[in-house]
Structures are given as C-alpha cells and as structure tokens.
Homo-oligomer: A and B are copies of this chain.
C-alpha cells in the first residue's frame, strides 16, 4: 500500500498495520537518525510531530527514504508480506526500484520478465507514425507494440514477455531495428531519455555553446536546457525580452521591422536569434516569438502562431508553427519544437 505514512493525524497506515498484525509500535533508531539527518541537511530543526514517523511496527524492516521524511516498511506476517510505501511518486518510485523489486524477486523466486523498450519520436503526427508502423502494431503476444501520443512526441513501446532478461532481447531488437529504419531521424531518444537531455548531450559532445532569446515561452526553453546537470558547460545565457522596448534596446532588434512586421514575425525571430548569438559570442542563437494566448490573437495572427529561428555557423533559419490548446500547451509545444530544431541542426545540419 502507498501513502498515509506522513506526520499528520490523518496518516494512519503505520498504526493500522500495527493494530491488525497485533504488534507494538517501537521507535526505530535508524529511521530516527535518517529523519534527523533529513532536517539537518535542510538546515531546519525537526518539528515535534515528525518523530512519529520513526515509530514502526515491531519487527518491521525499515526502507530508507532519500528524498522525503516517511520511511517505507516491510512487515512479514503469517507468511505474507505487508509493504507500506510513501505516497508521493518521487519518494515511492526510487524506493520501489531500490528495495521492493529486489525483495519481491528474492521472495517469490520468479524471474520471468516483461521487458519494455520505448522509442521516442518528435515532429510526426500520431496518425502518420501509425501508418508507418501499422503492421507492427498488430503483433500478438509475447511481443507487442503500443503507440502513445504526447504533445508533439509520439512514443512506440515494444513489450516482450520472456523467461528472463536475456531471452527477451532478440525479439525486441528485431522490432527496434525495423522501427529505426522506418522512422530514422524523427527518433530522438529511448526509454527514460528526455528531449532536453538529448539536446544537452549533443551540445556537450559537439562542444557547442548556446543562448536563447525567447518571448512567448517566457523562459521555458532556457529552463529545460538547464534541467541537465553540468549545463553551465554549454548554456551561456537566456533572455526573456518580453516588451518591444527590451527587444530594441538590449537585443538590437530593428524598431522599423518591429513596426513593419510586428513582434510576432519571421523577421523579428531571425533578428533575435542572430543578435543574441553575436551579442553573447556563442555558437548557436535561438529566437522565439509567438502568441501564447488565450488573449492577444488577431485574424491574421491567431493564438498559437509561433516563429522559431536558429542562427548557427552563418546559416540562419526560421520556421512557422500553429499550435493549439491552452497557454501552457502552446508554451510547451513551442519549447518542444525549439529543442527539436536545435537537435536536428547539430545532428543533421538542417
């Protein structure tokens, strides 16, 4: 079970398990030490109440929580195992992987696996990916393929049931090869890889530095580019030049072009990219301007209209997009498209 291990009065998991299994609650010295350590690192005194979290049913195995205060518990009772984990996914998931999965494997002696391989594409609509891999989607167990659409990403998941890890591999590799041949450079990554992580690796591997001038995304592209540890190697500066004044004064965008074409235009996006590049002396400059909505759209320039420009090695390029959805959706799709433009530019020079 998950949740109810916190310090508050409606957190009753531990006491309920103790009651049901007829055990006393005892203070676990290890759990108390972890708890005090957690607050020490945060530079705070442990609030009263929190000690409760170190009280566990007698005989329970305590699972250390490295990102929160609630320890996990494994209680073996009448040949059954009761497993209690904290509720927040960011606390639960690492604890499950580190302690619970190995415990269950040992306990059950089961080695049969369901192996998954996720192949992630960007830039193609779901219906198009579907047409390209239609035959694979019809496969029957033990090896199947599923398709999942996210905002601008489409993921293919190959699943293979097998006796163990090793015997699942050939079936997955055979299908993966086909998918790679058909989807080529629309594939940006695999499994846990993120688009921002892939772009970060490309920048580091190719020793490229980058600056971003982004208007409608308001810092989101910069934020995603710095989600990777060590991003100071490649990320020099983000600028969020929201007003026209700032675009003119600090980014050197032509006031005449702003009047003539408007802030949301190919011309302004290109100037933002080229100017931040030369201003910061970096390899790659990105310029983004658009209408995130829900207000601010017109007939000629509707909400969701976005221009993304890249300046790299003397070659400047701008693309027009029309996104749909809420303000947050438009911002997210814009950041997706911008990261993909960086990826393609470094990897394929397009």
Contacts and interface: CB of A to CB of B under 8 A. Distances in A.
A235 B67 CA distance: 34
A305 to B, nearest CB: 9
- So how many copies of this chain end up in the complex? 2
Contact of A238 (B7, B146, B219, B295): B219
Given A226-B219, A238-B219, A9 B137 contact: yes
A218 B211 CA distance: 12
A40 to B, nearest CB: 10
Nearest to A325: B67
A72 to B, nearest CB: 17
A281 to B, nearest CB: 9
Interface string A100-144: 000000000000000000000000011111110010011000000
A193 interface: no
A229 interface: yes
A233 to B, nearest CB: 10
A38 B323 CA distance: 10
A156 B129 CA distance: 44
Contacts of A325: 67, 90
Interface stretch (A18-26, A47-55, A173-181, A307-315): A47-55
Nearest to A327: B229
Contacts of A131: 47-49
Interface in A236-258: 236-243, 246, 250
A6 B322 CA distance: 21
Contact of A130 (B9, B43, B295, B329): B9
22 contacts: A8-B126, A9-B130, A9-B134, A42-B304, A44-B322, A47-B125, A49-B127, A67-B324, A217-B226, A219-B220, A219-B221, A219-B238, A219-B240, A222-B222, A226-B240, A227-B331, A228-B327, A236-B242, A237-B246, A237-B250, A238-B239, A246-B280
Interface of A: 6-10, 38, 41-44, 47-50, 67, 88, 90, 125-131, 134, 137-138, 146-147, 149, 212, 214, 217-223, 225-232, 235-243, 246, 250, 280, 292-296, 302, 304, 320, 322-329, 331
